[in-house]
Each structure stands twice: as structure tokens, then as C-alpha cells.
Amino acid sequence: MHEFLWQTFVTLLVVIDPFAVVPVFISLTRNDSTALKKKTAKKACLIGACLLVSFAFLGDKLLDAMNITEPAFRIAGGFLLLLAAIEMVIARNTGLRSPTGDETKEAIQRDDISVFPLAIPLIAGPGAITSTVVLMRQAETMGYLIQAGVVILAMFVIYITYLALKQGDRIMKLLGVTGTNVLTRVFGIILAALAVENILTGLTIFIKSALRS
């Protein structure tokens, strides 16, 4: 149980990667006042939290309604996370876990950037949503307390993200662009391992199910 909850925390932390959100946040709010920056960070994190909680409780029902099996979702989610991990390691923007160039230009012209690109896709992007649904499915067999633990840990990672955005200027002075990139690449390697683990687990469940039938 403790091992699963620790894996949940690590997975969500490396997928969301609060420190990688900071440079984008600073870039898009460089002309804003401190109060407005704090308000934008809070709103973005609240929206991101609402999205993750919604998918935590409704994602499984949506998959069942569409007849998507657990192995299929695990394998698809694994590949999606692997793509996000590759993007983190090679620092190439594919739009999966960060806005594309055109999207960034659009975001600069917006008055409110809390929904896009901060909440989506930086905080609650495809990788974070997929991970939340997969983790909640795993937690089903362990009871409601573990499911509640997954949601609480997701909210804790969102809170870490809020603190990182709130202290964005200090973090950038401390880590710098190089430090942030190094941290993101380390998280990317961990995420790649978790993604492969998801794919292998999905294949194992599928093979066992096929052999039984």
C-alpha cells in the first residue's frame, strides 16, 4: 500500500513537473504585478485540480461506457507518457505536455492565461490525466482509502506546483535555465521508466486474460 502511494506521488510529480512550469509562467506574466501573478497561479492550479479530480472519479466510468479495457488503456497511456518523457529528455516541444510555438503566441495575446496554457496542458495535460485515471483504476482493488489517497496526493502535487509558481522568480534565480532543464531531464528519465512499466503491465494483463479465455 505504501509502495503504491509512493509510486503515485512520484508519477504525478514527474508528469506535472512543477519546476518546468515555472519558466513558462514567468515568461507569460513578466509584465504582471505580484498580486496578479499570485492570482493567476492560484486560478490555474484550481482549474488543474478540478480537472484531475473530475477524471479521477469519472474517467473510469467513461472508459467503461466506451468499452475500453484496462490493458488497452494502460498500454495507450504508457505510450503517451513515454512520448512526454522523450519530450522532457530531448527538450523538444511536441505540444503533448507544453504549448506549441503557435499556442504560446496565442497565449501571450490573451488577458487570462490561467486556463490555457497553464491549467491545460502544463498542469493537467494528457499525461497527468492519463496517469490519474490509470492510478485510480489500480487503486480500485485496494479500497476506497487508497483511492482517496491518490486524489489527496494529486492535490498535494498541485499545491507544490502552486508554491513553485508563487516563488517562481526565486526558483529561477536559484536553479537558472540550466538547472531547470537538468531537473526536467532527470524527471523525464524517471517518467520513461514508469511509462514502460505501464506498457509491460498492460501487456501482462492482456496475455493472462487471453490465456484464460
Distance CA 53, CA 203 (A): 27
Please check whether residue 115 is in contact with residue 47, taking contact to mean a CB–CB distance below 8 angstroms.
yes
User: Could you report the per-residue pLDDT of 142-156, keeping only the tens digit for each?
Assistant: 989 999 999 999 999
Is pLDDT at 51 greater than 80 in this prediction? yes
Residue span of the structural domain in which 28 resides: 2-212
Percentage of the chain beyond pLDDT 90 is: 37
pTM: predicted TM-score of the whole model, two decimal places: 0.80
Q: Residue 49's pLDDT band (boundaries 50, 70, 90)?
A: very high
The predicted structure's pLDDT at residue 28? 84
User: Could you report the per-residue pLDDT of 101-147, keeping only the tens digit for each?
Assistant: 555 555 555 557 888 888 988 899 888 998 999 899 889 889 899 99
Residue scoring higher pLDDT (171 or 152): 152
Q: For residue 43, give the C-alpha cell.
A: 486560478
Is pLDDT at 209 greater than 90 in this prediction? no
- Number of structural domains in the chain: 1
The predicted structure's pLDDT at residue 159? 97
- Identify the weakest region by mean pLDDT among 126-135, 145-154, 164-173, 178-187: 178-187
